[in-house]
Amino acid sequence: MLKSTFLLAFALAGALFIGGCNENTTDPVTGTKPNAPTAIMAQSASATSVKIKWTAPTGTFDNYHVKVMDGTTLVQEDKAVAKTATTYTATGLTEGKAYSFEVMTVSGTEMSSAVKITWAPATRAGGTFRLYSGNNNTEGSGLNIFGTAAPSVKKVAEGALWDICFDDDGGTFVGSPGQSRYVEEVADRLVFKQAPTQEARLIFLGRLYTGINSLDEIYESEDLSIIPATSKFEEKLIDLASVTDKTKGVGFVCRYKVDDDTRYYAKVVVKSDGTSIVRGSGSNAFIEVEVSYQKEKNVPYAKSN
């Protein structure tokens, strides 16, 4: 009797031990909360797409989780962006609408806090545009960006439509037509010398980019209306001769002020051919420019948050 009682107790204890071990093996496995990515930036890749980039965090993690929001509405979500990636392109967006982009790291079931930026798509003009010397009688020297149609090169006869121009009088410059050789001040108005019935548009330049040769190389972390305290939006020309490294081009933000309540923004890159920014000579001297522009008024692409 005593022996049987002992054996029964031993069996029950063994069962409890085994049952306890089995219960422990079903505990969920959770990861350690990973560090968040940093330094998120963005660019308007096209009228319907935005490309973002970020800096990978220190520490280990499995992958990235990217969300695209329109206010509180989820537009796109990718829960498995490769951990080796530091860029992501969101497509199928609407031009002129600002979207919020969020990037998080994932480790097991744990997710980092999000790094965020708000950005809007903008139109990329197809190809490049050549602006020729003001001494050239057959080619145009100015570019219309903020028109009803696609950007196009214009001659002085249509100078009132110029948003930027190439000026090679006494140097080589690009920028606001109102500061160029083509215009003079008459009765507090900036009119074209060869077409005095035409007034120059008010085109303000800000935020200069150097050491780049394509719009694809420019990412932003701030609203384009924000520029360094040492600079400001103003009508001006950029001296291309002063560019130190002419194997690369230069870029700038261009703002067209229709009135105090209406402004349009664009980004322009003056390209190098790998040797020179200004090509050709004499009346055949020219520059090539690449343009991204916002068709919607008062949308300076983005704001950080």
Q: 14-23, 148-157, 169-178, 194-203: lowest mean pLDDT where?
A: 14-23
265 Cβ contact list (under 8 Å, min separation 6) = 122, 224, 225, 253, 254, 255, 256, 293, 294, 299, 300, 301
Name the average pLDDT for the chain.
88
* pLDDT of 268: 97
Mean pLDDT of 111-136: 95
d(C-alpha 51, C-alpha 53), whole Å: 7
Q: How confident is the model at residue 15 (pLDDT cuts 50, 70, 90)?
A: very low
Residue 192's SS3 state is strand
* Lowest mean pLDDT, pick from 127-131, 153-157, 195-199: 195-199
Contact status, residue 42 vs residue 100, Cβ threshold 8 Å: no
Share of the chain above pLDDT 90, in %: 74
Whole-number pLDDT of residue 31: 61
Query: Taking a C-beta distance cutoff of 8 angstroms, is the pair 109, 133 a contact?
Result: no
pLDDT at 24 over 70: no
Mean pLDDT, rounded, for 3-20: 43
Three-class DSSP category at 225: coil
Give the model's pLDDT for residue 259: 84
- Please give the average per-residue pLDDT across 106-113, as a whole number: 96
Q: Give the pLDDT score at 223.
A: 82
Q: What is the pLDDT of residue 30?
A: 58
* 2, pLDDT greater than 70: no
**Angular region, 137: left φ>0, alpha ψ -120 to 50, beta rest:** alpha
Q: What average pLDDT does the segment 229-256 reach? A: 92
| Confidence check: pLDDT of 134 > 70 | yes
Total number of residues shown for the chain: 305
Which residue intervals of the chain are DSSP H helices? 2-24
> Mind listing the domains of the chain with CATH numbers?
38-119 (2.60.40.10), 124-304 (no CATH)
